[in-house]
Amino acid sequence: MQAPFFYEPILPDKPCIFSLSEDTSKHCVQVLRMNEGTIIALTNGKGIHYNATIVSPNKKQTVVSLANMLFSEQTKPINSIAISFVKNPSRIEWFLEKATEIGIANIYPLITERTEKNNFKFERWESILVSAMLQSKQVWKPILHEPLIFTDFVNEKFEGIKMIAHCENDNRSTIQSVGKNNNQLILIGPEGDFTFKEIELAISNNFIPVSLGNTRLRTETAGIVAAVLMQD
């Protein structure tokens, strides 16, 4: 049976005696009823993984002994999605959870001409990323960036293949044909798609237009389809 897996954003770089955060301590002691000697696993979401033995259980500050530190390099290629978040929070949260499970490294909320107003719930969305990372037994958490205006974002430098998924009926490639073995970034538009002006601006900044299939997808579904195709 695998040890229960927990997130601690700040972990030492070598084994030592370590105090868990209050949230993790409470979950260990009050929820899971863990006692002295129980072995757990910890990650900082940046590649570090420890086995830890509970030395002193306490619901506010459980003390553990860290052992067997492992560092896992981030899986290559590194893939990123810039997506116009939609108004319905449950659909955004579903996308964040699934994109994390699939292994996307960076998520950029895009503000486009057709993006609906949305409250950026950073704390809640970060907790969803953490939960999905732990559930899928990963040690790298996606970076959730601050919202960025589309016209500014497409001018940013990116080392790798840049793509824009849209629904206009012009020449579009497939993700499989343009992105293999390279870091990839894809733009996913809002409900109603990118404007023609936005598509032209992206293409002029070396974004390759791509198709996600023959049907018109919801924004969050398009994001997941793109994630799967990039990670395939």
Note down pLDDT in tens along the chain; length 232 residues.
578 999 999 999 999 999 999 999 999 999 999 999 999 999 999 999 999 999 999 999 999 999 999 999 998 899 999 999 888 989 999 999 999 999 999 999 999 999 987 778 999 999 999 999 999 999 999 999 999 999 999 999 999 999 999 988 778 888 888 867 789 999 999 999 999 999 999 999 999 999 998 888 999 999 999 999 998 7
Q: Which position has the token pair 């893939």? A: 79
Q: So what's the pLDDT on residue 116?
A: 86
d(CA 17, CA 100): 30
Q: So what's the pLDDT on residue 37?
A: 95
- Note the Cα 156 to chain centre separation in Å: 20
d(CA 76, CA 54): 34
d(CA 100, CA 94): 10
Give all domains of the chain, ordered by start, each with its CATH number: 5-71 (2.40.240.20), 79-231 (3.40.1280.10)
